Amino acid sequence: MSKEVKELVKTIRPGLSLGEYGRVYRDTSAFMKISYGDVIELKGQHYLVLRDESERSFGIEDPKYWVKRCIHLESGDRKILKLVFHEKFTLKLGDLEIPCYRSPRKEARILDLVRGDKRFMQGQSYHDAKGNVVRILDVVRGKRLDHCVFEIEKGHRDYFFQDFPRILGKFMDSCRAIGMLHEKREIHGDIRRDHLWREYKGGRYVWIDFDYAYEFEESPFGLDIFGLGNLLIYLAGKQIYTAANIERIIGERRVKLEENDFSLLYRNRIVNLRKLFPYIPQELNLVFLHFSQGAEVFYETVEEFLRELEPCLDIIIERKEGWS
């Protein structure tokens, strides 16, 4: 390790022994080898690696070895570095098979496009010595929105009338942010519950992770819109409902579920929430049903989705007194 980098480390992290530090990497191709104590150098700037990032899925930590939590040694700021990792898979939507893949260059484009728009994570990209596109991201200081919602300690009816209107209003602004991407012929690519965060300070909603892309000729923005629909249904329900867990939620009340009450994308999830909670307005439930196995018409644009969703906010507020 160069004397210059050692001195930077001493300045920013004086409590750690220099013996713990590893190599300086200017080529990030072998990202599995880059670990705690290594330094990534990009355009003369140095990033001390603290750990690999991970995602929690079904209670299990899933390491993301190509995503590094770092300290920018020149400033002391925390950063997240996403290194190049290519992945392909196929997603089934009804009878359709949609090719999906990671695209570091696409994420770099979107970071440029949304710079200054605080509804999106912020960052910039640089090429390393081998031409790999490394994205340097500001840390979103907040928490996943779905976790925030699930942790509200209220029964569903109180939550729906007291908290959901505020959440819905802010969520619709997040939808408009995705609509802006679409107007620029870009997609988010991976809209799901863990990719919309709520900032601790101010409560702003922030989209993260733009590196997935997909090829869906029949509906170029279709998967993004399905992602928005799934997230809306979660926020309205306060959690996911399946045939396996509704007894615990609704008690002894009988609910007859049919195939068309379930999601087209996640076929075990109930989207016809009005069957579980009859105080949910029919107008809102009809929005949910556009994402069901029984849907015959799908939203093609965020504008169409919002055109039917926006009036539901006033309807919920108007009906609040009748269910209080």
The H or E element spanning position 85 is: none
The CATH code of the domain at 142-323 is 1.10.510.10
Give the model's pLDDT for residue 60.
62
- Provide the CATH topology of domain 3-83: SH3 type barrels. (2.30.30)
pLDDT band at 11 (very low <50, low <70, confident <90, very high): confident
Extents of the domains making up the chain? 3-83, 142-323
- pLDDT tens sequence across 87-134: 999 998 888 899 999 999 999 999 999 999 999 999 999 999 999 999
**Average pLDDT over the chain, rounded to an integer:** 92
Question: What does the pLDDT look like over 230-289, one tens digit per residue?
Answer: 999 999 999 999 988 887 776 667 788 999 999 999 999 999 999 999 999 999 999 999
Nearest to 191 by CA among 142, 231, 140, 132: 231
CA distances to 172, 281, 321 from 90, rounded to whole Å, are 29, 35, 46
pTM of the model: 0.92
Q: How much is the pLDDT for 324?
A: 47
Separation of CA 152 from chain center: 20
- Sort residue 262 into left (φ over 0), alpha (ψ -120 to 50) or beta: beta
Give mean pLDDT, residues 77-88. 96
Asked if residue 17 has pLDDT above 80, the reply is: no
pLDDT tens digit string along 180-210?
999 999 999 999 999 999 999 999 999 999 9
**Residue 57 confidence (pLDDT) above 50:** yes
